[in-house]
Structure 1
Amino acid sequence: MASVQLDLIAQNISVQFEGLKALSNVSLAIPRGSITGLIGPNGAGKTTLINVLTGFQQAGHGTIALEGETIKGISAHKLRHKGVARTFQSGRLFRELPIVDNLEVTGVGLGLSRREALAEAEHVMDWLGIAHLANTLAGALPYTDERRVAIGRAIMCKPRYLLLDEPAAGMSEHESHELASIIRRIASEFGIGVLLIEHNIGLVLELCERIFVLDSGEIIEVGPPAQIRSSDAVRHAYMGTQHDEVIPALAVDGATV
């Protein structure tokens, strides 16, 4: 019997909005237990691709497979039950609820009893080092803690895949370093396949084994960090858009991308 390939795969995905092509024949694979990067200038189509992979947006063309099972057209709610989780750029926490309730409600939504959901929430908070925030209202959290809670909610019940949409936005260098440690642990300790979408290119280069570069709705480069650093296509995609902030992050041995 052939073994099942443990990855989440998008194949030739195309999306149009009122005639405007947001994605054009995009293919991407997220293996279990590893961290894959997705980068690109603003408006490249990164969040649209996440939305397609997690059931929030239907593709006009192409296929999506979850460990061999075709999942195109399945709702976001059902995909979460199948083990595909995500975070959002805006956090989307229940701001009037304490942190523990934000996590607990996710567990209940995934089929746990209240007792089981509370136990899982407490375990996740301990694992993330945020147990001291359990009774803090989500709306009172600093921005960076809000990001950690969003990740905690996403890893409730140990999904198979986790898609992180700009989790380091607004973080200091020290906070980004702490986030990198958490992402590594998610992949290594839980065997979760992580897709990291970030404008912090240094973080992506540090964490990811393989990086996809999206520009104007198309994949223009795929490879390990060293290949991305040296790519003329990547340099061209960023020149004139985020040159000042991106180019220094891609500096290697005096050369810049």
Structure 2
Amino acid sequence: MSHLLQAQNVSVSFDGLHALSNVNLDIPPAKVSGLIGPNGAGKTTLVNVLTGFQAPTQGTVRHDGQDVSGMPAHKLRRLGVARTFQGGRLFKELSVLDNLEVTGVGLGLSRRAAAARAVEMLDWVGITPLMQLTAGSLPYTDERRVGIARALMLEPKFLLLDEPAAGMSAHEADELSELIGRIVAEIGCGVLLIEHNIGLVLKTCAHIHVLDSGEMIDEGDPAHIKSSEKVLHAYMGTQADIEGDVEAAL
């Protein structure tokens, strides 16, 4: 199938330990999909595989029907596969504007065109007041917003958001949900939301995948996930805050 970003029977092993085992996942265009699972489930490893930061041990990654397994991250980014990171990974010494401009230049724009596009994107995301601030001085939640703006440079086909709501208040998480909806509606981007905030995932995503111990144990719409015994069982016995989130959300 074309017009998808896909993991097909993807496995990843590190020194004999299986981080992922025969995982299948499709990210369709212009929809929000979710990926949840307990700590250590393999979510970030799967994101790394889909975005070229980790080659699969077995299996295939396809982009618009093309086998891109093991393709370097920078080449996948030029094909329209963008991501954010849990740790932000901004250029701390540069301004917010320069962080976006560097991305634009890396994607082939002239410096002038990249700067103009960066200004437009900061305005579109709603963080223009941060433009001249040094990235290293930003609060944690603002780092997340800048990371999303940077990932949206040149309007990618697919955007993978790795824990974008970490540290956000309930109000900030609601604003993030609205922004993700705009990304899909106005850019037409396919989004994969990877989150511990299960309530945000249930509210935002049309289809949700659930990983546990490196295996995809369930998937479906929010109503199915809420009633899934497999999902509830996967979270039981983890730390109290995660369990509390699941019980409240499910």
Aligned length: 250
How far the C-alpha of 1:7 sits from its partner, in A, is: 1.1
**Alignment pair present for 1:216 and 2:247:** no
Deviation at 1:73, TM superposition (A): 1.6
Aligned to 1:147: 144
Name the CA shift for 1:250/1:67 in 2 (closer, same or farther; >3 Å). farther
Corresponding position of 1:193: 190
For 2:28 and 2:57, how far apart are their aligned partners in 1? 24
Correspondence for 1:76:
73
Q: Deviations over 1:145-203 (max 9, x none)?
A: 11000000000010000000000001000110111111111111100000000000000
Please, which runs of 5 or more residues in structure 1 have no aligned partner? none
Select which of 133, 136, 145 maps to 1:136: 133
Contact 1:55/1:79 (8 A) holds in 2: yes
The 1:93/1:248 distance shift into structure 2, 3 A limit, reads: closer
Q: Which residue pairs with 1:180 in the alignment?
A: 177
Inter-partner Cα distance in structure 2 for 1:18 and 1:205:
35
**Secondary structure of the residue that 1:213 maps to in structure 2?**
strand
One-letter amino acid of the structure 2 residue matched with residue 66 of structure 1 = H
Unmatched 5+ stretches in structure 2: none
- Render the CA deviation track for 1:100-148: whole Å, top value 9, x for unaligned: 0000000000000001100110000010111111110001111111100
Identity of aligned residues (%): 62
- Alpha-carbon distance, 1:250 to partner: 4.8
The verdict on how the C-alpha distance between 1:123 and 1:143 changes in structure 2, with shifts beyond 3 A counting, is same
CA distance in 2, matches of 1:86, 1:59: 18
Q: Letter of the aligned partner of 1:9 in structure 2?
A: Q
Match of 1:26 among 6, 15, 23: 23
RMSD between superposed Cα atoms in Å: 1.2
The corresponding residue for 2:85 is 88
What is the Cα deviation at residue 243 of structure 1? 4.7
**Matched residue SS, 1:85:** strand
Q: Which position in structure 2 is the counterpart of 1:110?
A: 107
Could you tell me how far apart the structure 1 residues matched to 2:154 and 2:78 are?
9
Match of 1:97 in 2: 94
DSSP 3-state at the match of 1:185? helix
Partner letter of residue 11 of structure 2? Answer: S
Aligned residue runs from structure 1 range 161-172, under 5 A: 161-172=158-169
> 2:101 & 2:187 partners in 1: Cα distance?
20
Give the counterpart letter for 1:131 in structure 2: T
Work out whether residues 41 and 242 of structure 1, in 8 Å CA contact, stay in contact via their aligned partners in 2: no
Question: TM-score, structure 2 length as denominator?
Answer: 0.97
Is 1:15 paired with 2:28?
no
Structure 1 length-normalised TM:
0.95
1:44 to 15, 18, 41: 41
Q: Secondary structure at 2:87's aligned position in 1?
A: coil
User: 1:61 is matched with which residue?
Assistant: 58
